[in-house]
Amino acid sequence: MAVSARRLYRRLLQLHRALPPALRALGDRYVREEFRRHRAARPAEAQRFLREWQATLIQQQISEDKQNLKEKTVYGIQLTEEKLNDFRDEQIGQLKELMDEATKPNKKITISKDTEYKT
C-alpha cells in the first residue's frame, strides 16, 4: 500500500490512544489485522478499503471532538443496512466477533510480546 495508507494507519492508531485500555487494545489489533490482510489487495479493492478506513477516521475525529464537549463518551458508529449489505460474510463474522469482544462486561485485554491477546 502507498504512503497514504501508512499515514492513515498511523493516524487510526493515534486516535485509539484516547480510548480506554481494553478498547484501545482491541481497536489496535483490529486495525493491524485488517491492514495486514489487505496489503496485497488488488488496486480497486485497496482503494475501497482505504476509502472506508478514511471514513472511519473522519467519524473517529468527529466523535473525539464531540467527546471533548460532552461528559459521557460514546464509541463507535451505527452501520446502515445499506453498508451492511456491502460486506462479505467473512466481514460480517468479523464485525460480530468485534462486537462480542467489545461488549463483554469487565473484559480486560493484555498484550504479550508475541502479539497474542489474553483475557
Query: How does DSSP assign 31-62, residue by residue?
Result: HHHHHHHTTT--HHHHHHHHHHHHHHHHHHHH
**29 or 81, higher pLDDT:** 29
Please give the mean pLDDT across all residues of the chain: 76
Q: Is 48 helix (H, G, I), strand (E, B) or coil?
A: helix
- Domain membership flag for residue 96: yes
Q: How many domains does the chain have?
A: 1
**pLDDT at residue 116 tops 50:** no
Find the angle CA(88)-CA(85)-CA(31) to the nearest 5 degrees: 55
Please check whether residue 39 is in contact with residue 31, taking contact to mean a CB–CB distance below 8 angstroms: no
117 has a pLDDT exceeding 50: no
Classify residue 110: in a domain, yes or no: no
The arithmetic mean of pLDDT across residues 31-55, rounded, is: 88
Structural domain includes residue 44: yes
Give 32's pLDDT tier (boundaries 50, 70, 90): very high
10 domain-assigned: yes
* Residue 58 confidence (pLDDT): 74
Tens digits of residue pLDDT in 50-107: 888 888 777 776 666 555 555 555 566 677 888 888 888 888 888 888 778 777 776 5
**pTM summary value:** 0.52
What pLDDT was estimated at residue 29? 92
Domain containing residue 52: 1-103
Q: Within a domain: residue 117?
A: no
**Residue 53: inside a domain:** yes
